[in-house]
């Protein structure tokens, strides 16, 4: 890293990358403890893998938008620092694997040259802001939501309000009421709406609050049928603020927003968020509709190409399933289906070279784990097909039952129980080889996760599977939990899938065949797959699949997971998605001091709202440190505040002339003015000095 250290002296390298490099060095030298460093690493998109000594790096691609140059840069970075593979995720990120920790600052610096970041891609932060990949070209959209997704990305990236939450927080924007971005599974989801006042168009959004997947899916509820476009960021900030103050921080399995909503009640939470808006940085926020410009449309290119006779059927199927006419007349969007979300860097480079003259320089990563190409002229579709076909990128069935969603599973994930990637390949093969007509079916969705956490979205699948295991005849067998009946309904509404039965993982293809055969025989009696499922009921499907789960028919192969040669061994590591909990008193006091330093910088730069929030965080860290000295563990920030009153103020050890709650929660009751920011900061300075004296007294005993 010597050459990179020299480069760090160049002021062009962002400070956050220099800070990461310094933190890695301090960690290697034993100056930063493991848990503290892990939280720093995760907040920079650096995630531990199942394989020891290497990292997965998650690259944030806001609303999935990629230029040719950016895709090529990510390919270069994967070649130099990772495994020469790109993995497209359901949240429109790109992940690369097998990265050395020590080279991550260098990697990040290379990405930043083309306006690509890994900041806050993992950990307890606002994650990548997703949007319908067809936003801007969707024939059904009231308006393009991409500028709004971009506005959210910019507003919350590096925002102190959202950098250290109790759990991750997700925003999603759908382009129309069809809800192709699955707004209902987001902490806050948005669906565009238009109304007219005095003959003028007014833009707004239906807002859905509290959605989440995980082991306990929660379908978001509507909080507003029409929220003006200038109010969605202030509303969202107030929600994030309340979540930060009142949300669970000790038990990661109960720390998502949905659990806080259940705890305090939906209406009460909305009221709390409304009251918190006084502390917001802004009361209205006009998002620039022009931040995401329409791409330059390729010049017409006349090429004479003919589809070979032996590829005509494939071409027709591709036209039927992988392209659609944009709202811009005469242009088409073309989907690339990437099997298991993977694309080699060599293929990515060839893709750009092959298509850049006939498609717009504006690709989108899709939530189906593929890519969308835009602004293709009808006359160029045949040429594009042949170019993609040469790269193996014309597999039909985008967003159909044959487009199986999957997480990495045991390939790289610490939490993976079974091999979801290989099972995905097997189930897609079953569709293509045995149920070819279903390739046209875009209603039924198959989704697979390697564990119960639903990174593969099995919790909202029409037909879902998640990895599990059970002991049969004294040996551990890889199994899958079968789920049925989930899916998007439209306009912000959705359904969580029902857990039906657990079967040996090797028998998942038989489950799929049984369901499709039964559905085919009865489809004429039902309007849709979900109508079919509801009409027959969960118990019908349990009885239908029960013979497949029969343990008396187990054979040796059932003990071997997909993609493996030896009998299954359950090996689960520790998940890192939620970051870590740091309970070291000295570290907390250092954090308290650091927050005050950041508060001072913000106030000097007239960023008073940021300064106030950093000051608030200093209060929290200092109070938590002293509570730990008394062996008091609080699981929420509001709990820390109340416990400090109980253990320190009521006992007379601290005297503020008011309660600690009143002192600290001034943040939520005052406008973020210069006068308040400076007064609040001075109070926190005094408190920090008192905490240091208190700590010294404890150590002296």
Spans of all domains in the chain: 2-112, 130-279, 309-389, 405-559, 585-700
Give the pLDDT of residue 483.
98
Name which of 12, 187, 202 is nearest 109 in CA terms: 12
Return the pLDDT at 7: 54
State the DSSP code for 300: P
Q: Which fold has domain 130-279?
A: Sulfite Reductase Hemoprotein; domain 1 (3.30.413)
The beta-strand segments (E) located in 390-536 are 405-406, 446-449, 463-472, 475-484, 487-490, 493-495, 498-504
Question: Which stretches in the chain have pLDDT values below 70?
Answer: 1-13, 568, 570-584, 701
Contacts of 311 (CB under 8 A, 6+ apart): 386, 389
Regarding the domain with residue range 405-559, which homologous superfamily does it belong to in the CATH classification? Answer: Sulfite Reductase Hemoprotein, domain 1 (3.30.413.10)
List the CATH code of the domain at 309-389.
3.30.70
**Across the strands, what pairs with 59?**
94
Nearest C-alpha neighbor of 280 from the set 238, 236, 242, 246: 238
3-state class (DSSP) for residue 621: helix
CATH class of 2-112: alpha beta
| Confidence (pLDDT) at 578 | 43
Would you say domain 585-700 falls under CATH 1.20.120.550?
A: no
Report the pLDDT value the prediction gives residue 9, as an integer from 0 to 100.
Answer: 52
Beta strand extents in 212-278 (DSSP E only): 221-228
182-191 pLDDT per residue, tens: 999 999 999 9
Q: What pLDDT score was predicted for residue 568?
A: 66
Q: For residues 94 and 57, what is the distance between their CA atoms, to the nearest angstrom?
A: 8
Question: Fold match between 2-112 and 130-279?
Answer: no
pLDDT the model gives residue 576? 53
Residues 166-220 have pLDDT tens digits of 999 999 999 999 999 999 999 999 999 999 999 999 999 999 999 999 889 999 9
Q: Are 404 and 424 in contact (CB under 8 A)?
A: yes
């Amino acid at each position: 890293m010597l050459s990179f250290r020299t480069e760090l002296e160049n002021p062009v390298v962002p400070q956050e990358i220099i800070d990461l490099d310094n933190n890695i060095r301090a960690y290697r030298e034993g100056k930063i403890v493991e848990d503290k460093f892990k939280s720093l690493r995760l907040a920079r998109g650096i995630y531990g893998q199942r394989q020891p000594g290497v990292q997965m790096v998650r690259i944030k691609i806001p609303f999935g938008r990629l230029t040719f140059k950016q895709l090529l840069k990510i390919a270069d970075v994967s070649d130099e620092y990772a495994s020469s593979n790109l993995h497209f995720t359901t949240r429109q990120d790109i992940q690369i694997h097998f990265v050395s920790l020590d080279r991550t600052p260098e990697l990040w610096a290379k990405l930043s040259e083309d306006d690509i970041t890994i900041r806050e891609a993992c950990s307890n932060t606002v994650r990548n802001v997703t949007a319908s990949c067809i936003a801007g070209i969707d024939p059904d959209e009231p308006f393009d939501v991409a500028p709004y997704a971009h506005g959210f990305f910019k507003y919350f990236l590096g925002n102190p309000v959202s950098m250290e939450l109790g759990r991750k927080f997700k925003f999603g924007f759908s382009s129309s009421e069809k809800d192709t971005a699955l707004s209902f599974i987001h902490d806050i989801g948005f669906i565009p709406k238009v109304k007219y006042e005095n003959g003028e168009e007014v833009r707004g959004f239906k807002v859905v609050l509290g959605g989440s997947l995980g082991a306990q899916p929660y379908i978001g509820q509507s909080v507003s049928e029409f929220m003006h476009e200038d109010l969605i960021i202030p509303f969202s900030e107030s929600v994030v603020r309340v979540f930060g103050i009142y949300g669970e921080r000790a038990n990661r399995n109960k720390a998502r927003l949905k659990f806080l909503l259940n705890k305090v009640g939906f209406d009460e939470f909305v009221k709390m968020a409304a009251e918190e808006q006084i502390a917001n940085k802004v009361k209205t926020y006009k998002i620039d509709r022009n931040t995401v410009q329409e791409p330059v449309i390729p010049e017409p290119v006349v090429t004479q190409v003919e589809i070979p006779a032996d590829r005509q059927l494939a071409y027709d199927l591709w036209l039927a399933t992988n392209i659609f006419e944009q709202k811009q007349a005469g242009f088409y969007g073309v989907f690339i289906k990437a099997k298991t979300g993977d694309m080699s860097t060599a293929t990515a480079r060839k893709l750009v070279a092959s298509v850049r003259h006939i498609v717009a320089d504006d690709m989108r990563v899709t939530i189906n784990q593929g890519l969308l190409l835009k602004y293709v002229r009808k006359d160029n579709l045949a040429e594009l097909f042949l170019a993609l076909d040469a790269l193996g990128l014309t597999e039909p069935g985008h967003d159909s039952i044959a487009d199986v969603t999957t997480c990495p599973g045991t390939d790289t994930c610490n939490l993976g129980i079974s091999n979801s990637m290989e099972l995905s390949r097997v189930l897609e093969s079953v569709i293509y080889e045995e149920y070819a007509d279903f390739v046209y079916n875009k209603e039924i969705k198959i989704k697979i996760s390697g564990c119960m956490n639903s990174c593969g979205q099995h919790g909202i699948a029409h037909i879902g599977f998640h990895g599990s295991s059970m002991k049969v005849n004294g040996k551990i067998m890889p199994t899958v939990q079968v789920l049925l009946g989930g899916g998007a309904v439209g306009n912000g509404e959705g359904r969580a899938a029902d857990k039906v039965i657990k079967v040996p993982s090797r028998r998942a293809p038989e489950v799929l065949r049984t369901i499709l055969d039964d559905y085919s025989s009865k489809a004429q009696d039902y309007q849709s797959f979900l109508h079919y499922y509801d009409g027959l009921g969960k118990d019908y499907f349990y009885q239908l699949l029960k013979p497949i789960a029969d343990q008396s028919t187990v054979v040796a192969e059932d003990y071997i997971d997909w993609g493996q040669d030896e009998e299954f061994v359950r090996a689960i590591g520790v998940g890192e998605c939620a970051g870590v909990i740091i309970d070291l008193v000295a570290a907390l006091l250092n954090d308290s001091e650091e927050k005050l330093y950041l508060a001072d910088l913000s106030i000097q730069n007239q960023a008073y709202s940021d300064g106030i929030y950093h000051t608030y965080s200093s209060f929290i860290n200092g109070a938590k440190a002293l509570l730990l000295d008394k062996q008091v563990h609080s699981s929420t920030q509001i709990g820390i505040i109340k416990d400090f009153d109980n253990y320190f103020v009521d006992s007379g050890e601290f005297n503020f002339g008011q309660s600690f709650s009143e002192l600290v929660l001034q943040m939520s009751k005052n406008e973020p003015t210069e006068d308040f920011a400076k007064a609040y900061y001075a109070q926190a300075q005094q408190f920090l000095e008192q905490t240091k004296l208190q700590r010294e007294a404890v150590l002296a005993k």
